[in-house]
Structures are given as C-alpha cells and as structure tokens.
Amino acid sequence: MMHTSVRSPPPPSPRVKPGAASSAPQGSGDGNVRVSPRHLLMLALLACVVAATLGAKPLAAWVDASLVSGTLVQGAVDEWSDAMQRIGMTRPYDMLRHAIRDAEAARFPGRD
C-alpha cells in the first residue's frame, strides 16, 4: 500500500489596494530608495546633534578661529564644550585623536 501526503495549498498573498499607503520605503526597483524632504531634514538635524556632541572640542576651536569669536555664539559653544566634557562625551574624540598621534609616532619615529 502506498502512502501519499496531502499538502494544503499555500495561503493567498495579501493584495494591496492601489493608492494604499505602505510602511516599506518606496523605491524604483533599482536599489534606490526615495526619501521625503522631511525625513532628510530630520536625518541632517540628528547628524548635527551627534557631531556637536561628539565633536565639541573641535567645534569650540573652529568657532574660536572664526568670525563669531568673542560673541554670544562663542560663549554658548564654550559652555556646550564644557558640558560635554563634564559628562564624558568628548572621550571618543580624545581616544581617536590619541590613537592617530600614536600611529603617526610609530610610523615616523623621532618626529614630534
């Protein structure tokens, strides 16, 4: 006697109505994803906050050497830099800077 297994048919795929919004990013099928201007602005603002947080020391040095040196902007940037240093957010920058200096010293000995 031969036993055969009975398979149930696969479930139907969900149909999307034309014009229904999807949470997936919309692309043209060639790997490019369209991003709305609002999302792009939010991404740019987030990048600015991260850069200002992790790069507070170079930001303060840049403002000090710029045209706004000695203004209200300079005071705000100095306070921001001090606050970031107090909470330890300047450590990644310091560690990277020391690592680069150590690598340069190893590559070019005797050059200080």
Alpha-carbon distance 10 to 111, whole Å?
71
Helices 56-65, 72-86: axis angle to 10 degrees equals: 160
Q: Work out the number of other CB atoms within 10 angstroms of the CB of residue 66.
A: 12
Q: What's the mean pLDDT in 1-30?
A: 60
Give pLDDT, residue 18. 58
pLDDT digits (tens, 9 = 90+) for 81-96: 999 999 999 898 899 9
Beta bridge partners of residue 33, listed in sequence order: 27
Give alpha helix (H) positions in 22-110.
37-54, 56-65, 72-86, 91-107
Give pLDDT, residue 2. 59
Query: Is this model's pTM higher than 0.75 or not?
Result: no
Q: Which residues contact 112 (CB under 8 A, 6 or more apart)?
A: 105
pLDDT digits (tens, 9 = 90+) for 58-86: 888 888 888 877 888 888 989 999 999 99
Alpha-carbon distance 9 to 95, whole Å?
59
Task: Name the residue with higher pLDDT: 23 or 42.
Answer: 42
